Amino acid sequence: MENKIKALLLENSLSVFGVKIDEKLIQFQKTRKDVEGDMTLVVFPFVKILKSSPAVVGEDIGRFLKEELEEVESFNVVSGFLNINLTTDFWKKELFDMTKDEKFGFASELSGKMYMVEYSSPNTNKPLHLGHMRNIFLGYSVSEILKANGHEVVKTQIINDRGIHICKSMVAWEQFASQDENGNRETPETTGMKGDHFVGKYYIEFDKQVTIQAFSIAEQWQRNGFIDAPEDAKEKLPGLFKAYQEAIDEKKKTAILRKIAAFAVPFAQLTKDAKEMLLKWEANEPEAYKLWSTMNNWVYKGFETTYNRMQVDFDKIYYESDTFLIGKDLVTDGLEKKVFFKKEDGSVWVDLTDEGLDEKLVLRADGTAVYMTQDIGTAIDRFKDYPNLNGIIYTVGNEQDYHFQVLFLILKKLGFDWAKNCYHLSYGMVDLPDGKMKSREGKVVDADDLMEEVVSMAKESTKERGHIEGMTEAERENLYEMIGMGGLKYYLLKVDPQKRMKFNPDESIELNGNTGPFIQYAYARINSLMTKVDLVNPEKEMAINPAEKELIKQLSEFPLVVKEAGQNYSPALIANYTFELVKNYNSFYQAFSVMKEENIALKNARILISQNTGKVILTAMRLLGIEVPNRM
């Protein structure tokens, strides 16, 4: 209806406004709950043109629309806003139209645009954790929402399979892995551990051992009066050692120990070993490369298992071990073009002070690449693979806001015009009751463990409620999986991506409130209802009262919500719309009978409203990557 009014006003702008108007002047907003109306046109943009008060302008436009459009029943003007009431016949038609539209909510035409959405992109030194889960579910859902908006989407990830982090796991496995009687080190196969968990264990072991070495070095500095310590250590370590010696609480003592050790970590032998391993890998030394390949493959198998349970996929996978070389070549090219400059130590930098930023390292003095180097190479590689890309959406936490600001500026300086189409989908951290997650210390909420936990909790709560009689064991297990995973995904997606959030597993599977299971249960109930009722000549027998109209209005907003979610890269808009729809439908269902309604015309309307509510729930939840059960 908005498009119809907009077209009518543009076509008749000379007679209505006396001048041709810009389409941007025609603005609609949601009608306030305290005023009467189905839709609201903002009058203020036309006041200057017509040189009249908002009230007069609103009355003039309202009368014109009522005369020209049979769908307009009445109107009122409140504080510069034209509130339009639409006829009952209009809302009946809306209900019929959405019923016939199998892809209701989706764009009617393809946009002709292609977008790449990057998500997950884990390091290969540890398993996926809760923070990754928000990233993955967000990126996957945004991909599905963009598809619903008519765009072609390439779902991708960049595997961070190189760098000092994986070298730490490699060194730790070589030096600390237990061996059998034949001298063979343990593997995921011999231990029965999932590959990513196995490699992660050695990343934690490296941190443990390097902390021991570093603390020992710091103690040696203390014994020598800090003569050999770096300047920053000379200033801070005496006070830290004093606090360490006075600390009684073990947790506090450990925290201080780690702070002390941090000053000496760069001087520890394990740190030197990891750096040497990285240089060997970059030089393609056979033994280092073989070990790197072996350990990464262990991790990939583990990731695949996790992704399968999450029910997410990727169309194209990139590896930093490939793309960082492209980035290094471009650094050389950038030096020749004077986009970059070299410092005395041989490191290469870019000067972004003219853009209000600072200088940024793009290549270390020893010639090894940094994250920026490989991200430059990856972006260029992607546009070569997909020359028709209209943009790349990077799903990465907001701690990397500055990184992506710099990346896009560097690409622009290098002459890549498409850099303006790159977008950082920044999202907030996921907190736990005891604070931020830390992977190197082993205090992380593991994704596999968390999925297992919520599904187990869903199983227990579903058994307590009952209603699963007659289901096979396989059907029950599938239901528990749907409820647990649905609750987990919904909880992480219902919050605006830019906001930091706290995850609560118990709340995520609650059957009441703004949760996935609450919405899943509504769908199952509607599905059951649809098996017990039949329409009787709805084309001729149809009646709606105010309560029915309000639900039809809310259902009719779904396509706009999907569009806005795509424009804002925000699954939260769809999640919260669906929650409000279900909440209102439940109130309607409790207040008005569907099955026992004797008025056939009203019963037909209520059946179609229920049917379309179920259809919208199904579509919305699929856009969030969530399954809904037929029975619950």
* Per-residue pLDDT reduced to its tens digit, 258-290: 999 999 999 999 999 999 999 999 899 999 999
pLDDT band at 437 (very low <50, low <70, confident <90, very high): very low
Give backbone dihedrals phi and psi of 624, rounded to 5 degrees, phi first. Answer: -90, 0
Mean pLDDT throughout 97-109?
95
Q: What is the CA radius of gyration of the chain?
A: 30
Q: What is the pLDDT of residue 320?
A: 87
* Per-residue pLDDT reduced to its tens digit, 212-254: 999 999 999 999 999 999 999 999 999 999 999 999 999 999 9
* Per-residue pLDDT reduced to its tens digit, 379-424: 999 999 999 999 999 999 999 999 999 999 999 999 998 999 899 9
* Per-residue pLDDT reduced to its tens digit, 561-585: 999 999 999 999 999 999 999 999 9
Helices (H) and strands (E) in the chain — how many of each? 24, 14
* Per-residue pLDDT reduced to its tens digit, 470-499: 899 999 999 999 999 999 999 999 999 999
* Arithmetic mean of pLDDT over the chain: 94
Average the pLDDT over each of 260-264, 307-311, 336-340 and give the range with the smallest value.
Answer: 336-340
pLDDT band at 439 (very low <50, low <70, confident <90, very high): very low
Domain ranges of the chain: 2-86, 177-311, 447-623
Nearby residues of 57 by Cβ (< 8 Å), 6 or more positions away: 43, 46, 47, 50
The class (CATH top level) of 447-623 is mainly alpha
* Per-residue pLDDT reduced to its tens digit, 614-632: 999 999 999 999 999 999 9
Give backbone dihedrals phi and psi of 38, rounded to 5 degrees, phi first. Answer: -100, -25
62 vs 57: CA distance, rounded Å: 8
* Per-residue pLDDT reduced to its tens digit, 601-618: 999 999 999 999 999 999
Higher pLDDT, 470 or 140: 140
Q: Are 155 and 195 in contact (CB under 8 A)?
A: no
210 vs 131: CA distance, rounded Å: 25
345 vs 165: CA distance, rounded Å: 24
Burial of residue 34 (CB within 10 Å: 0-12, 13-18, 19+) is exposed
* Whether the predicted pLDDT of 322 surpasses 70: yes
Mean pLDDT throughout 16-21?
91
Q: Are 97 and 90 in contact (CB under 8 A)?
A: no
Q: pTM score, two decimals?
A: 0.91
pLDDT band at 326 (very low <50, low <70, confident <90, very high): confident
Mean pLDDT throughout 178-205?
96
Q: What is the pLDDT of residue 371?
A: 84
Q: Are 232 and 238 in contact (CB under 8 A)?
A: no
CA 234 vs CA 175, 224, 240, 256, 266: distances in Å: 32, 11, 11, 16, 15
Burial of residue 234 (CB within 10 Å: 0-12, 13-18, 19+) is middle
79 vs 417: CA distance, rounded Å: 46
Cα atoms in the Cβ-side hemisphere of radius 13 Å centred on 293? 8
Q: What is the pLDDT of residue 434?
A: 62
Q: What is the pLDDT of residue 440?
A: 46
Q: Are 558 and 577 in contact (CB under 8 A)?
A: yes
pLDDT band at 441 (very low <50, low <70, confident <90, very high): very low
CA-wise closest residue to 331 among 318, 347, 316, 354: 347
Q: What angle do CA 532, 519, 602 make, to 5 degrees?
A: 40
Average the pLDDT over each of 112-116, 186-190, 255-259, 368-372 and give the range with the smallest value.
Answer: 368-372
Span 2-86 CATH architecture:
2-Layer Sandwich (3.30)
* Whether the predicted pLDDT of 462 surpasses 90: yes
588 vs 545: CA distance, rounded Å: 12
Q: What is the pLDDT of residue 8?
A: 96
